[in-house]
């Protein structure tokens, strides 16, 4: 069943910066439940050595890039794919360290804290900037979201609260999941952060069995 108020993140009115400041600012109530919890999980996976490789591709909602501050310690090549032109623009501002870029110091600091370090957040930001090799448009209104862009197969794919937010029904979810998972190497790892449906409205509800259909 479709969710009538589903939001498309390629829409012109979508404001990636507003979403970032609303949910991911350093003093926001979601910071611990979303940002820090996800970073802890990702750190545990990567630091255990169970997920390895050179290339990781991320597709997440807008500027939900906190997981990549952890990934930068384990992957030399990070590729970000984004549905919104606005998101691409804001990410490029951050990569170039422009004065009006979003403030991610708290994310970088928490990535350092996971390693037992109380300093070095600026270096962690620079490490991520250097690791991001491409920021690519993913146009979900097209049959082939990447258009003419060809990406290398990744050792790991990661998505944080994205597909469930942009898909209007399960058929659309399966189609986009197939397209996303096709970017994964054989034997690679797919990491998905599914939203907590108890607290989030206008999100497509996905069961475990439904999730496995496109990729299993």
Q: Is the pLDDT of residue 6 over 50?
A: no
Q: Is the pLDDT of residue 197 over 90?
A: no
CB-based contact 160:193 (threshold 8 Å) = yes
13 Cβ contact partners less than 8 Å away, ≥ 6 residues apart: none
Q: What's the confidence (pLDDT) of residue 165?
A: 77
The DSSP bridge partners found for residue 157 are: 57, 190
Q: What is the pLDDT of residues 22-73, one digit of tens each?
A: 667 666 556 666 788 899 999 999 999 999 999 999 998 778 899 999 999 9
All structural domains of the chain with their residue ranges: 29-215
Q: What's the confidence (pLDDT) of residue 14?
A: 62
Residue 110: name the closest of 34, 161, 207, 178 by CA.
Answer: 34
- Identify the band that residue 83 occupies on the pLDDT scale cut at 50, 70 and 90: confident
* DSSP assignments along 94-133, one per residue: HHTT-TTS---HHHHHHHHHHTT-SS-HHHHHHHHHHHEE
Q: What's the confidence (pLDDT) of residue 1?
A: 40
Return the structure tokens found at 68. Answer: 């990549």
CATH 3.40.50.1100 describes domain 29-215? no
According to DSSP, residue 160 is labeled E
pTM summary value = 0.85
Query: Mean pLDDT, the chain, as a whole number?
Result: 84
What is the distance between the alpha carbons of residues 190 and 194, in angstroms, rounded to a whole number? 12
Q: Is the pLDDT of residue 203 over 50?
A: no
């Amino acid at each position: 069943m479709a969710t009538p108020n589903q939001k498309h993140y390629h829409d012109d009115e979508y404001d990636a910066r507003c979403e970032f400041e609303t949910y991911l600012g350093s003093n926001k109530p979601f910071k611990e439940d979303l940002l820090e919890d996800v970073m802890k999980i990702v750190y545990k996976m990567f630091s255990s050595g169970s997920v390895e490789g050179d290339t990781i591709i991320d597709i997440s909602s807008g500027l939900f890039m906190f997981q990549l501050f952890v990934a930068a310690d384990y992957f030399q090549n990070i590729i970000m794919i984004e549905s919104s032109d606005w998101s691409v623009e804001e990410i490029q501002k951050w990569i170039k360290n422009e004065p009006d870029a979003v403030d991610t110091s708290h994310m970088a600091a928490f990535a350092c804290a996971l390693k037992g370090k109380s300093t070095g957040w600026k270096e962690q930001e620079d490490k991520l900037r250097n690791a991001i090799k491409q920021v690519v448009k993913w146009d979900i209104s097209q049959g082939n979201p990447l258009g003419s862009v060809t990406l290398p197969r990744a050792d790991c794919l990661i998505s944080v609260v994205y597909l469930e937010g942009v898909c209007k029904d399960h058929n659309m979810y399966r189609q986009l999941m197939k397209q996303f998972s096709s970017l994964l190497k054989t034997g690679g790892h797919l990491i998905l952060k599914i939203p907590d449906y108890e607290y989030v409205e206008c999100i497509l509800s996905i069961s475990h069995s439904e999730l496995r259909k496109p990729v299993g």
